[in-house]
Amino acid sequence: MEKIKKIGVFSFAKFQAFLGAIIGLICGILYSFGGLIIDVLVSNGLLSSAAMETPGLSYGTVLAFGALIVMPVIFTIAGFLLGIIEAILYNLVAKWFGGIKIDFS
């Protein structure tokens, strides 16, 4: 068994940013289904289109495109910053507790 005694701060931050981008894309896709539901409700007359005053596009379409673009960006930035904090905290705590044991076999 090997112990991880120290983590590279920026390499872990890049890894967390990548995971954040993937999760943000998945969440953006799921959130965009909410925009689809609003569009369907407006087109079927179940929701008033007067309340949805977006020039050119319906409110649901704007939400869908916004979610697909903005959520991965936000999750990537948050993942990077949290990765830096987590790696620094791990490097400090690993000195006291000896690190994480990993079996590579």
Domain that residue 90 falls in: 2-102
Q: Which pTM does this prediction carry?
A: 0.74
- On the question of pLDDT at 95 being above 50, the answer is yes
* Strand extents, DSSP E, the chain: 2-4, 100-102
pLDDT digits (tens, 9 = 90+) for 14-32: 999 999 999 999 998 888 8
Q: How many domains does the chain have?
A: 1
pLDDT digits (tens, 9 = 90+) for 54-70: 544 566 677 778 888 99
CA distance to 25, 66, 94, per residue, from 48 (Å): 30, 22, 58
pLDDT of residue 13: 97
pLDDT of residue 62: 73
